[in-house]
Copies of this chain bind each other. A is one copy, B any other.
C-alpha cells in the first residue's frame, strides 16, 4: 500500500467526462463498460498507469481491471511501457486510430464476417440439392446474400483506410 494518503486523487470533472465518452463508445462497440472506463482513463492520463492505479481510480474490482486490460491489449488499444525499477506492468493508450481500428476489426469483426461467409456457403449447398416450385426464387435470394457478403468483405478494408488516414 502507498504510504501517502492521496497518491491517487479522485477523478476530476474533465476525466469523468472523457471516461464517460469512452464508456458510450464501448457500449456501441459491444464491449464491457469497464473496458471503456479503463481506456478513457489511460487516454486522458498524463503518465502510464498500472493495474492498481486503474482499479483504485475507477473503483472497480481487480478481476474486471485485469480482464479489461487484457481485452484492450488484445486489439492493440493500449501499450505496455517499461518503468525501470518497478515490476508492475504500466500502460498507455494507443492513440493511432488506424492501429486501434484495424486491431479491433481483425479481432472482433473479421471472425463474424468469416463465419457469415461459411454459413452462406452452407446455405448454398443446401439449396443446390433442393428442387421445388420456388427453387428459382430461392436461388435469387441466396445470390443476393452472396452479393451482400462480397460487398461487406470488400468494404471492410476500405473503411479502415478511410478512418485510419
A residues engaging B (CB < 8 A)? 13-14, 17-18, 20-21, 24-25, 28, 30, 43-44, 46, 95, 97, 109, 112, 115-116, 119-120, 122-123, 126-127, 130, 134, 137-138, 141, 144-145, 148, 151-152, 155, 158-159, 162-163, 165
Contacts and interface: CB of A to CB of B under 8 A. Distances in A.
Contacts of A158: 162
Given A30-B30, A46-B137, A126-B14, A144 B21 contact: no
How many monomers of this protein are in the complex? Answer: 2
A97 B148 contact: yes
Contacts of A130: 14
A155 B151 contact: no
A144 B24 CA distance: 18
24 contacts: A13-B126, A14-B126, A14-B130, A17-B123, A17-B126, A18-B123, A21-B116, A21-B119, A24-B112, A24-B115, A24-B116, A28-B30, A28-B109, A28-B112, A30-B30, A43-B141, A44-B138, A46-B134, A46-B137, A95-B144, A97-B151, A151-B163, A155-B163, A158-B162
Given A14-B138, A24-B119, A155-B163, 16 more contacts: A13-B126, A14-B123, A14-B126, A14-B130, A17-B126, A18-B145, A21-B116, A21-B123, A21-B145, A28-B109, A46-B134, A46-B137, A95-B144, A151-B165, A159-B159, A159-B162
